[in-house]
Chain A
Amino acid sequence: MSLRLRLDKPWTPLTAEAATRLPGQLGVYQIADAQGAILFIGEAGARSPFGLRSELLREAQNRGPGCQFRVEVNMQYRSRWFELLMVHKHDHGSLPPDNEKNPPPILGRLSPA
């Protein structure tokens, strides 16, 4: 009865227009390059003024064109963020490159069946 481990929604081009259409809710998101390689896994926590919308708008402005994103609205944004990072590390052997630059202080080990 476990929930879905990985985000598997289709990617959307990361633009300011796309970000402004997002809900102002809390959750998690992934940023990928044009080929779909994940660059960053982020969380939209309760300090974000407009949740996912604020975070993705900031990402779009900082990264410029050529990236893609997908989001998941999730009130358990903290534990879901940790989960996505651990699953990525299990699948790829390392964190996404932009998370590697500033990793969370403690990250556990997960070996999904």
Chain B
Amino acid sequence: MDFEPSEEQQMLIDQVRRYVREEIIPLEAKMDPDASELDPADHKRLVEKTKAMGLFGIDIPKEYGGPDIDIVTRVLLAIEMAQHRAGLYVPCYGTFGGAGLAQIFEANDDQKERYLYPTLRGEKKAFFGLTEPSGGSDPARAIQTKAERKDNGWVLNGAKIFISNADRAQYGIVFARTDASKGRAGITCFIIDSDTPGFHVRRVVHTLRSSHYATELEFKDCWVSDHQVLGEVNKGFAVANDRLTRQRIPYAAGCIGVAIAAHEMAIEWAKMRTTFGEKLANRQAVQWMLVDNEIDIRTAKHFTFEAAEKARRGLPFKIEASIAKLTASEGGGRVVDRSMQIHGGMGMTKDLPLERWYREMRIRRVGEGPSEVQRMVIAREILGSNLR
């Protein structure tokens, strides 16, 4: 496979790179180092810029009005968009727009009118409610939130945890057990409006990612009609699983972007900083750290582009997506760690973005399926699906 960008892809890369360096990074210099949101006036101004670039709504499929960008190009751009302080979790502060949750494109026509189109117009935001206090890595078995039939609808009772944006969203996609006897074939996906009686955002969950919190949710006799079922009853796990697999590719790209930015900072610092009469760049110990950074980045890029290329061609990419996510999140963490080491004391300060990347990159080894689950997915694929 040839992973060299085409002329057109290179033009887009250059355009986004310029945007990050000329528009985003200068704003960050004045913001709190942990901030995740731009001033509303800046956000509005930059959205106009991305619209003028023809890249707004970058993840929206063409048939819904988005720019026609394939997943390989999307990965190339995601790598660029992540190369600033908040870039790992809030690439370019959302100024390229969002498509909302991928599952909502599977909605029926009525649901699309009520949820998808308002989301694409920026009028509604959504949350994704899968993980529960009982566990997140094995949702098919861990989901204990129950949905029981009542009055032509369903009554939900249970809890969710580590849910982003639930306190700010107008609706969410929530997975609940509708048949206790069927394991993964007994889970249904519901669309829940945030003002539904019985839906509560109980608390903020503080994490390493201090700029942005997760929440804990409670469903207490929360009744929704049959119209709120997304897809088919008892087939919700496929909806969740498909999203988790697809999400691993751009997730890996974000890790690569931050790793590249950290590595470039380390190279620049090593060429500039002198200790004991010698530039750091001339020290073998530092050279080897930079070499290891380079290898980690190239490895992650190779596997991520391989996964994206297979997805673009419509080929199975489950194993490739897991390898990409694994190598990018683990390799990216090592790159940021080495880059901090090369910077010495300065690397630990909030003056530089490295400490934020270090904290946030640590989460990437757990988010969207921890490294161990990725290895399990790969093992199942190479040893046979009947392996448990």
Contact = CB atoms under 8 A, between A and B. Distances in A.
Interface of A: 2-3, 5, 45-47, 75-80, 82-83, 86, 105-113
Interface SS of B by simple majority: loop
A109 B210 contact: no
Contact of B40 (A75, A83, A86, A105): A105
Contacts of B62: none
A113 B202 contact: yes
Contacts of B34: 45-46, 77-78
Nearest to A43: B32
A47 B85 CA distance: 15
Interface string B6-34: 00000000000000000000000000111
A86 B40 CA distance: 20
B167 A47 contact: no
A79 B359 CA distance: 15
Interface residues of B, number: 28
B105 interface: no
Contacts of A105: 37, 39-40
B204 interface: yes
A75 B210 contact: yes
A68 to B, nearest CB: 25
B33 A82 contact: no
Contacts of B165: 108
Contacts of B39: 105
Interface stretch (B72-80, B106-114, B211-219, B265-273): B211-219
B214 to A, nearest CB: 9
B204 to A, nearest CB: 4
A76 B202 contact: no
**Listed residue (A46, A86, A113) with the most chain B CB atoms within 10 angstroms of its CB:** A46
B213 A79 contact: yes
B212 A111 contact: no
A99 B158 CA distance: 34
